[in-house]
């Protein structure tokens, strides 16, 4: 029997970073807000404390913080001719679950996208002509500009306390920062983290080649910080347990350390954990949401009526929620019509390993998830792509995040994968290797998309999300080009042996790459090619807002979280100042 609960103003699906920020703002504005989180409540104390939180087997290998894929996996195939199978062990990407969401296990790398990224289709045509791209590429403009988002980037970074060095303040290039960045209104809230040895080696080599190295912007803080919400954070201790882990020191900016204490203190907000939302309910017109239906951990079904529904889940789950609820037309890759699930994109991760002699000590374990030094000279559209046959690029950086013993053991190509010779190579190279990350962009294409799986269902009987993805030719060309540049830097560092590993096809879900899954509920100005308008409001059901990286029409060269934070504040601005005062469409279709 379904229990119908008392109506509230707002129901939020997923209490991660987006859900926490939206909840805080709307509860503070006087609205009754319920946050539904499928996972458990968890806090720095006691859940994230040492030594349990440094259990590499539990968190790295067995993925303790991730979505339970014995109950709710994703199915995957490389192309439409294959039959997708459930991903039973997360490897390629790691969607989180629980209070605080995936951000709890992030690395803290806090980049803005560049102005060009938000108008990618227009700018690409302007600079390289109409026929530059492969026919299957479906990149498009976002419907918002960098200038629209700048104040919201700023607000988000000051919420996090991000440690970095500005490269461009109001158009003035700042020494020591990234000269390629789009103008920011002021300096980062806190100075950069200390540069580790591999970062220093990289900086010297990159400078000698005429590039522009700068310290990675980090939300593992360089010094204690009190954010504008009045919440205090500590300085990072460089323990090297960020990604896949929660921070025990109140030093990594996550919902628990930047906003949850304020949100949970507001009586207008009610957090309910263990709530698996089944669908957003629509009225008979199918143009208005009436609330959501969820099942709790005891298996009881509830209907939570609400005037406004906000899906604030991980990108993939936002897409699935709309498909399960029948909101928006599902994408059909054969006809190219429909929008929900369209323009799923990823990121194209390559690497370069530089092996030094045994008298050069790298100490890779002394790192944070976002320490290190990098260049943007080959990222985005910061270099001329004429004649190269691709768009996009990658940042190249000595930004290795850890030296954890089970997962980190760089060895030169040709080393056996196990046995005595492998062990000898690990011992020889562990402390004498610099790993560059080449963090590459991803174009959207006609054949990469998300839909509901026709065969497999979750523990509640609902169809799983099906991912159909392989690397576009554009991105493989980009990876090869940028990796060659990375190898040159490795050589300039004086390494004895440098091995580039450009990303190659086919895409596999069995090797870790990145959790930067984007698209599927794309934002834009045209309802034929977007699911939500420029304020992240559903074109079809105006009292549903879909806030997440699922809104990105394609993916840029940088980690997506900062942009998601900016979009969140941008959407909240529209919600608070326009929508909630006069509910209805914010953009006429």
- Chain positions contacting another protein, by CB under 8 A: 43-46, 49-51, 222-224, 232, 234-237, 248-250, 261
CB of 403 to another protein, least distance (A): 15
Q: Which of 450, 448, 459 is nearest to 328 (CA)?
A: 450
Closer Cβ to another protein, 48 or 346, answer by number? 48
- Find the helix packing angle between 561-574 and 146-160, rounded to 10°: 110
Nearer to another protein, 45 or 298 (CB): 45
Is residue 422 exposed (0-12), middle (13-18) or buried (19+ Cβ within 10 Å)? middle
Q: Which two tokens stand for residue 464?
A: 């799983």
439 included as an active-site residue: no
Min dist. Cβ of residue 161 to another protein (A):
13
Q: Report the residue number, 145 or 234, with the smaller CB distance to another protein.
A: 234
Q: What six digits make up the tokens of 456? A: 């497999």
Q: 536: buried, middle or exposed (CB in 10 Å: 19+, 13-18, 0-12)?
A: buried
Q: Which is nearer to another protein, 44 or 110 (CB)?
A: 44
Q: How far is the CB of 374 from another protein (least distance, A)?
A: 22
Nearer to another protein, 20 or 138 (CB): 20
- Return phi, psi of residue 578, to 5°: -125, -60
Q: Quick one: DSSP state of residue 578?
A: I
- Are 416 and 422 in contact by the 8 Å Cβ rule? The answer is yes
Strand 301-311 relative to strand 8-13, pairing: parallel
Nearer to another protein among residue 52 and residue 427 (C-beta): 52
Tokens of 547: 């806030």
Residue 226 or 407: the one with the smaller Cβ distance to another protein is: 226
* Nearest alpha carbon to residue 341 among 374, 318, 360: 318
- Which of 35, 110, 105, 11 lies closest to 67 in space, CA to CA? 105
Q: What is the C-alpha to C-alpha distance for residues 26 and 300, in angstroms, rounded to an integer?
A: 28
Q: Closest CB to another protein among 232 and 286?
A: 232
Q: CB of residue 239 vs another protein: minimum separation in angstroms? A: 9
CB of 218 to another protein, least distance (A): 13
Report the distance separating Cα 221 and Cα 369, nearest Å: 11
Length of the chain (residues):
589
Question: Which strand (E) or helix (H) includes residue 561?
Answer: helix 561-574
Residue 209, classed as helix, strand or coil, is coil
**CB 255 to another protein: min, Å:** 14
Among 180, 385, 432, 516, the one annotated catalytic: 516
Give, in degrees to the nearest 5, the angle at Cα 390 between 389 and 392. 155
Query: From the CB of 357, what's the least distance to another protein, in Å?
Result: 24
**Measured between alpha carbons, how far is 400 from 397 in angstroms, rounded to an integer?**
8
Q: How far is the CB of 220 from another protein (least distance, A)?
A: 11
CA 258 to CA 250: how far, in whole Å?
Answer: 9
Query: Minimum distance between the CB of residue 49 and another protein, rounded to whole angstroms?
Result: 5
Pair 84, 467: CB distance under 8 Å: yes
Q: Apex CA 516: angle with CA 233 and CA 506, to 5°?
A: 150
Give one word for 360, left, alpha or beta, with left for phi > 0 and alpha for psi -120 to 50: beta
The torsion of the CA quartet 287, 344, 312, 284, rounded to 10 degrees, works out to 20
Catalytic residues: 516
């Amino acid at each position: 029997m379904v229990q119908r609960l008392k109506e509230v103003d707002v129901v939020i699906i997923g209490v991660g970073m987006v859900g926490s920020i939206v909840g805080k703002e709307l509860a503070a504005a006087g609205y009754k807000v319920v946050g539904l989180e499928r996972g458990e409540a968890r806090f720095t104390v006691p859940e994230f404390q040492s030594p349990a939180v440094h259990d590499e087997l539990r968190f790295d290998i067995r993925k303790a913080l991730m979505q339970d894929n014995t109950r709710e996996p994703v199915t995957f195939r490389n192309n439409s001719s294959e039959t997708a199978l459930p991903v039973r062990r997360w490897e390629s990407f790691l969607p989180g679950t629980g209070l605080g969401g995936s951000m709890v296990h992030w690395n803290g790398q806090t980049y803005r996208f560049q102005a060009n990224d938000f108008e990618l289709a227009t700018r690409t045509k302007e600079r390289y002509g109409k026929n530059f791209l492969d026919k299957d590429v479906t990149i498009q403009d976002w419907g918002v500009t960098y200038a629209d988002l700048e104040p919201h980037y700023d607000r988000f970074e000051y919420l996090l306390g991000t440690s970095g060095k500005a490269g461009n303040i109001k158009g003035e290039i700042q020494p020591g920062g990234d000269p390629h960045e789009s103008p920011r209104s002021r300096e980062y809230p806190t100075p950069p983290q200390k540069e580790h040895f591999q970062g220093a080696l990289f900086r010297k080599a990159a400078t000698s080649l005429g590039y522009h190295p700068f310290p990675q912007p980090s939300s593992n803080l360089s010094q204690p910080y009190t954010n504008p919400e009045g919440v205090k954070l500590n300085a990072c201790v460089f323990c090297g347990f960020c990604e896949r882990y929660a921070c025990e020191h109140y030093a990594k900016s996550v919902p628990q350390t930047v906003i949850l204490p304020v949100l949970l203190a507001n009586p207008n907000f009610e957090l309910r954990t263990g709530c698996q939302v089944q669908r957003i309910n629509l009225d008979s017109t199918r143009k208005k949401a009436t609330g959501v239906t969820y099942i709790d951990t005891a298996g009881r079904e509830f209907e939570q009526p609400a005037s406004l529904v906000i899906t604030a889940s991980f990108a993939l789950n936002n897409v699935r929620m709309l498909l399960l609820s029948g909101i928006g037309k599902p994408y059909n890759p054969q006809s190219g019509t429909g929008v929900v699930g369209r323009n799923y994109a990823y990121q194209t991760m390559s690497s370069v390993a530089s092996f030094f002699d045994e008298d050069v000590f790298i100490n890779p374990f002394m790192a944070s998830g976002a320490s290190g030094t990098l260049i943007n000279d080959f990222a985005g559209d910061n270099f001329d792509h004429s004649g190269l046959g691709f768009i996009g690029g990658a940042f190249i950086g000595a930004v290795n995040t850890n030296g954890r013993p089970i997962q980190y053991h760089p060895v030169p190509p040709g080393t056996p994968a196990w046995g005595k010779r492998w062990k000898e190579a690990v011992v020889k190279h562990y402390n004498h290797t610099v790993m560059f990350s080449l963090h590459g962009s991803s174009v959207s294409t006609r054949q990469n998309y998300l839909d509901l799986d026709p065969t497999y269902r979750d523990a509640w009987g609902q169809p799983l999300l099906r991912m159909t993805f392989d690397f576009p030719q554009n991105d493989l060309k980009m990876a090869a080009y940028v990796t060659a540049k990375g190898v040159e830097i490795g050589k300039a560092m004086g390494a004895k042996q440098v091995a580039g590993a450009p990303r190659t096809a086919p895409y596999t879900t069995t090797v870790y790459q990145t959790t930067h899954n984007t698209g599927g509920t794309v934002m834009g100005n045209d309802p034929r090619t977007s699911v939500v308008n420029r304020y992240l409001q559903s074109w079809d059901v105006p009292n549903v807002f879909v806030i997440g990286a699922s809104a990105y029409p394609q993916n840029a060269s940088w980690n997506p979280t900062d942009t998601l934070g900016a979009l969140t504040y941008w959407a909240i601005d529209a919600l608070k100042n326009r929508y909630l005062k006069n509910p209805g469409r914010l953009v006429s279709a």
